[in-house]
Amino acid sequence: MTDPDAVQRWLDEHRITEIECLTPDMSGQARGKIVPRHRYDPAAGLRLPEAVLTMTVTGDYPEKDYTAVSDPDMRLVPDAATLRPVPWAKEPTAQIIHDCLHFDGTPVELSPRNVLRRVLQLYTDRGWKAVVAPEMEFYLVQIEPDEDIPLKPPMGRTQRTEAGMQSFSIDSVSEYGEIFDVLYDWCEAEGIALDTLIHEMGTAQMEINLDHGDPLSLADQVFLFKRTVREVAIRHQMYATFMAKPMQGQPGSAMHLHQSVVDVATGANIFSRPDGEPSPEFFHFIGGLQTYLPAATAFFAPYVNSYRRLSRYTAAPINLGWGYDNRTCGLRVPRSGPEARRVENRLAGVDTNPYLVTAATLACGWLGIEQKLQPSEPLAGSAYEQPRQLPRHLDDAVELLLRCQPLAELFGAHFVETYAAIKEAEYREYFDVISPWERRYLLLNV
């Protein structure tokens, strides 16, 4: 974690003049301070109000104060492993993700990064290491400052917008080639391990996958990747959006998460037996996901908009059936050899906080292993023909989360209560807004 000398050496080697000191909040936004190099002491860290971890996505707060005491400060301590340049800055600038600590050195319970560490420690204590690989979908859209005007696909290098959906089209990706050239260069400079790029189902909808690896490192990379994509797009006169459902009539955007578990001592995938067949832990992990993901849905679908994505026949799950190479299922087991046996969780929208989604899926799987939960039979047909198993609205999801004691024990009861209060505050603010649909169809017809 913290190595002040290593931080100073890196800053010297890169001739850094300014430092962006970042920490992810509940919505996954970057909070923190920008500090001149000569004023930055990595050994001392920084101070920041703990209340930034209780902010809603709109910048408001729940009515109740959920901080440790009345609006205290916390320490931000740099994680040397997260040092990266800011490729788009005019002056040599660094970005460093900081951990949130109390002044007695204990982790701040409300920090999403600390929550993920808390869950990963469960695996470490067992002699295991979780491995994940995220797949992120997002849309490129025209710049439109007026929130009342629906979003539209952007023009590509041919000065035309896409005609219909162009799934897996190489030429359609090439329409935005300049953007992706810059994106790959910037991500390489930041140490973000991009794998494949494809055109997804939606109009100007893209998917970029990251290499598999350590869950905390991958969550950091997703956190930084979103900042990077948005910056690249703006510099090419368009927006990149990670809303779960940004446009009517178009598919939603997901963050599918592949996950497996490795025995540290042997390097073996615990989801496979020595003879190559699936292990009991593999089935228990799936059983845990099926049992506890409904209560964790508020992490996987954190906004009102998120639930627009979770509908039948739209490449998004409506239940938690599982199957081998079956993309209609919420839980898919891709074709692979025994050493790469894994479970793909398809529930999360790309609008999620990557730290909380990773923590939640690994927590649910862990509970399944601990409680030896058995999954349903694998589905060979369409999961869209099966009943719904997931909450339909954010307020329902929050109620389920508050009633789930096992998740509260893993995440911390104080964290769950605070997260729920933030989501309830966001839902109340949304509910105050009268939509164009209501004005169009109810104004003169009821």
For 390-423, b where at least 16 C-beta lie within 10 A, e where not — what string?
Answer: bbeebeebbbbbbebebbbebbbeebbbbbbbbb
Q: What is the pLDDT of residues 242-299, one digit of tens each?
A: 999 999 999 999 999 999 999 999 999 999 999 999 999 999 999 999 999 999 999 9
- Which fold does the domain 4-110 belong to in CATH? Ubiquitin-like (UB roll) (3.10.20)
Q: What is the mean pLDDT of residues 158-182?
A: 82
Q: What is the pLDDT of residues 191-212, one digit of tens each?
A: 999 999 988 889 999 999 999 9
CB atoms within 10 A of CB 305: 17
List the structure tokens of 325: 């190479």
* Identity of the residue numbered 198: I
CB atoms within 10 A of CB 101: 18
Parallel/antiparallel/unpaired status of strands 239-241 and 128-141:
antiparallel
pLDDT for 363: 98
Measure the CA–CA gap between 277 and 366, rounded to whole angstroms.
20
Q: What is the pLDDT of residues 292-321, one digit of tens each?
A: 999 999 999 999 999 999 998 888 999 999
pLDDT at 165 over 90: no
In the structure, what pLDDT confidence band is assigned to residue 160 with cuts at 50, 70 and 90?
confident
Q: What is the pLDDT of residues 329-347, one digit of tens each?
A: 999 999 999 999 999 999 9
Contact 25, 115 (CB under 8 A): no
List the structure tokens of 113: 């990064």
Altogether, the residues listed in the chain come to a count of: 446
pLDDT for 1: 53
Mean model confidence pLDDT for the chain: 94
Measure the CA–CA gap between 269 and 343, rounded to whole angstroms.
12
CB atoms within 10 A of CB 268: 16
Q: What is the pLDDT of residues 219-243, one digit of tens each?
A: 999 999 999 999 999 999 999 999 9
Containing 35, the helix (H) or strand (E) segment is strand 30-36
Give the start-to-end residue ranges of the domains of the chain: 4-110, 120-411
Q: What is the residue whose two structure tokens read 């529930």?
A: 347
pLDDT at 70 over 80: no
pLDDT for 315: 83
Query: Domain 120-411's class?
Result: alpha beta
pLDDT for 170: 82
